[in-house]
Amino acid sequence: MATARCQPGDWIDVERVLLEVDERAANLPEDTAKKPLRIWVKGFAEEAADIGDEVTVVTTTGRRVTGRLSEVNPGYNHTFGRPIPELAHVGVDLRARIEAYRAGGE
């Protein structure tokens, strides 16, 4: 269960702005140039903090990175999702084609 506060030693995700809009590279497309470049890094919290507070983490390589607390014990929520109706027929259709081709004695 997600919590809004971390304790020292908790595995957390911190966010910070790496480059403000006026520090970004030249020749970016307009939509990208209008946004700051943000980064997220995970590590073990050095102190207690609430979501949005500045906090320092120690990453798995031992680096210390300071940013705003983004999430405590961050998880992974990517999935497969539902079957795609436009692909539902593919297996049955192609197996039938192969069967018909082989029955034709080729």
Residues that bind other proteins in the complex, under the rule CB under 8 A: 18-19, 23-25, 28-29, 31-32, 35-43, 59-63, 76, 78-84, 86-87, 90-91, 94-95, 97-98, 100-102, 106
Residue placing its CB nearer to other proteins in the complex, 5 or 38: 38
Q: Output 4 or 94, the one with its CB closest to other proteins.
A: 94
Question: Could you tell me the smallest distance in angstroms from the CB atom of residue 96 to other proteins?
Answer: 10
Which residues, at least 6 apart from 82, have a Cβ–Cβ distance to it below 8 Å? none
Q: Kindly tell me which of 5 and 95 has the beta carbon lying closer to other proteins.
A: 95
Which residues, 6 or more positions from 45, have their beta carbon under 8 angstroms from its beta carbon?
Answer: 6, 7, 8, 9, 10, 11, 12, 55, 56, 57, 69
| Distances in whole angstroms, Cα of residue 22 to Cα of each of 31, 33, 36 | 14, 9, 8
Q: Quote the least distance from Cβ 50 to other proteins, whole Å.
A: 19
Distance CA 47, CA 55 (A): 7
Least CB distance from residue 94 to other proteins, whole Å? 6
Nearer to other proteins, 2 or 61 (CB): 61
